[in-house]
Amino acid sequence: MAASNALNAYVLHTRRYGDSSLIADLYSREQGRLAAVAKGALKAKGERVQPFQAYAIAVSGRGEVLTLTGVEASDSPLTLQGRKLFCGLYLNELLLKLTARQDPCDGLFDDYAAALGSLHKDAAIEPTLRRFEVRLLRHLGLGLILDRDVNGQSIVSDRRYTYDIHHGAAPVSTGDNAVSGATLLALRDDLVFDDSGLRESRQLMRRVLHHHLDGRPLRSRELFR
């Protein structure tokens, strides 16, 4: 496989295609999300592809489903087990449902690889997920407004805010969905969350993602129950 034609990619999901092949959903640095047929992948000598493994791949064809013509591992596979495996599947599902095919987002591939690396290295799970969620939305042009409130004033760490998905943070005295300014700033700056911030950031990002997913459920979330 010529290096000049290779794409850097991860496998997000695979499904059986015919008797011996797979259709692989991939996320690449150069072309964004792709779907490609891996012919003969289920045969004894077929080229297997798996999630959480960085590959250099080559594809051919036109249309929405391409053909995988070359694949080489470009790094060691990442081992994710238990809850961290569920988190990796969650990241994959977000990319599958929120990105468009063949629409690369500059930097998103690297942020995804960094999130997988953090899970592999035993970094704290929830901050890793929140960091990726925030950056994913930013890459897609759907980023949260985390530096100022709806009045144009800087977010203050010890104030409380409600967050409107379309307009941003509005100061309040109390409320069921209120979050602290400290939580908003932690999301903006990758700061360390306290217990309250972990809970608030999880609830906020779940609500925001639910909106951008148009209410479509995430199957990977069921694994956490």
161-195 pLDDT, tens per residue? 999 999 999 999 877 789 999 999 999 998 888 99
Q: pLDDT at position 44, please?
A: 66
What is this structure's pTM?
A: 0.93
> Could you give the residue range(s) of every CATH 2.40.50.140 domain in the chain?
3-73
**Least confident range of 107-116, 134-143, 167-176:** 167-176
> Picking from 34-48, 49-63, 183-197, which range would have the lowest pLDDT averaged per residue?
34-48
Q: Residue 191 has what pLDDT?
A: 86
Class of domain 83-224: mainly alpha
In terms of Cα–Cα distance, which of 43, 45, 51, 47 is closest to 14? 51
Q: Where in the chain is the domain with CATH 1.20.1440.120?
A: 83-224
The CATH number of the domain covering residues in 3-73: 2.40.50.140
Decide if pLDDT at 2 tops 60. Answer: no
